[in-house]
Amino acid sequence: MRFRLSGLAVLVLFIAVIIGRTLSYGPSGESAPRLEAPDAPAMSGEEIGRHLGEAIRFQTVTSKAGAPEAGEEQPWLDFHDWLAATYPAAHEAMTLEKVAGLTLLYQWEGSDPSLNPIILMAHQDVVPVNPGTEGDWDAPPFAGEIIDGILVGRGALDDKASLITLMEAAEGLTQSGFAPKRTVYFLFGHDEEVAGIGAKSAFALLEERGVTADMVLDEGMVTVANAPLTGGPLTIIGVAEKGYLTVELRVSGEGGHSSTPPRDNAVVRLSRALVALEENQFPSHLNEQPLKDFFRGMAPDMSFVIRMALANRWLLGSQVEKELAKLPTADALVRTTIAPTMLEGSTKENVLPQRASATVNFRIHPSDSVEKVLDHIRKVTRDIDGVEIIALDGFASEPSPVSSAKTQAFAALSAAASSSISPDAPIVPGLVLGATDARFSYGVSENVYRYMPALLHTDEIGGIHGTNEKVSLENLARMARAYTQIILLMDEAQ
């Protein structure tokens, strides 16, 4: 009887611990200071949509490093002339410097040199439209048409919406008589989609000049209207982005006729190497930043079951990771990802290749590094004969540092998001899975954030780089208002 009572007591205690941890799981006590967003001038979504539609018609398309090549710059140059004509007050108030040929660096000089500046970013270039898919769009992809309050076109979200609404904010503030105390830079890279040479050069120039910024803000995250884990709105402010590395795995072998193939030839050994990578994924970093605060921040809006699983990872951690692994986006949040993308072997079906190769792309979690990735590849392929590991030159980067979510800058972004985008959305720090021009900014600031102030459903987010990329006129008005508030809030901060 005593044994039964002891067992029951242990069970009750066990359940109490699980429930207690679940109920207490939520945002950490430490947070950024709370700010009240100021009023902003009224913004017309229709007028902004008309301007964005005109901007989309400039086909500033990049598809490979070094773009645009000599003789292909005219769309950018025409776009620059259009910006000057469309936003005359902003251009009168700011000085413009062109970097790396086509990147635009505006400086809106503040009256108080003791205040560190802020840098607001967007990019001019867009990705191509996949050949043959033009007819799948609701409107021609470079026409910038508005259909029932929705603007359709390549760059509607990525990223001319940010660029145009930033300029709308600057134009509106200038016309209202606002003159900043804190210097504001607008940095619009010309080749973000391929290499980011423009932004990299601009930040190198600012660093050389001794600029230290209190905030850098670029694209990256949004307010999601229907967040998967909560079902409701969720504002995600990117505080870090993943690194990038592409590796070629190369295996050599004897050529010859396919009628007399050797066992374990180059293609077979290459396949074994790819399978070894697939079966040996990088470890999860679910308990590390920024994911730790990301999940805790939205906990009050989660179902009890999901909240319980995350709060009790000491018990359910392996199951949580299995469930996250089923969703590519969720899995990418918690670990460095491995993506074989290109294969090369023989040039004919009856010829044995003398060399087989695979290109593998890695997106590196902030808790890992380029060297850790290379060590992992060496480790899992070391028992496979003849595998060469070649890190490809060109676009490669370490994961970014993780910026603090307790700064005045984070508070300003939060206040603008609550005021102009969604007052009911929890605000959480997040990890950007792709690459942005902001990765080059750490020489001038440690407060680097990635957030486009727009309220988007998951299907709208899916249109980025895809067919029917679109943005509502209502969102454009929200974005311009939020950017205005961000400038005003940071100008008031001491």
Write down the catalytic residue from 191, 192, 214, 219. Answer: 192
Write down the catalytic residue from 125, 321, 368, 469. Answer: 125
C-alpha to C-alpha distance for 449 and 447, rounded to whole angstroms: 7
Active site residue 321: no
Nearest to 431 by CA among 335, 296, 308: 335
C-alpha to C-alpha distance for 403 and 446, rounded to whole angstroms: 6
- How far, CA to CA in Å, does 228 sit from each of 81, 232, 234, 286? 42, 8, 10, 17
Work out the angle at residue 54's Cα, subtended by the Cα atoms of residues 84 and 74, and round it to the nearest 5 degrees: 65
- How far, CA to CA in Å, does 144 sit from each of 3, 125, 191, 454, 475? 75, 15, 21, 19, 16
| CB contact at 8 A, 468 and 137 | yes
Q: How far is CA 251 from the centre of its chain?
A: 34
| CB contact at 8 A, 205 and 474 | no
Alpha helices in 44-151 (DSSP H): 45-56, 74-86, 88-93
Instruction: Tell the burial category of 424 from Cβ atoms under 10 Å away from its Cβ (0-12, 13-18, 19+).
Output: exposed
Active site residue 491: no
Active site residues: 125, 192
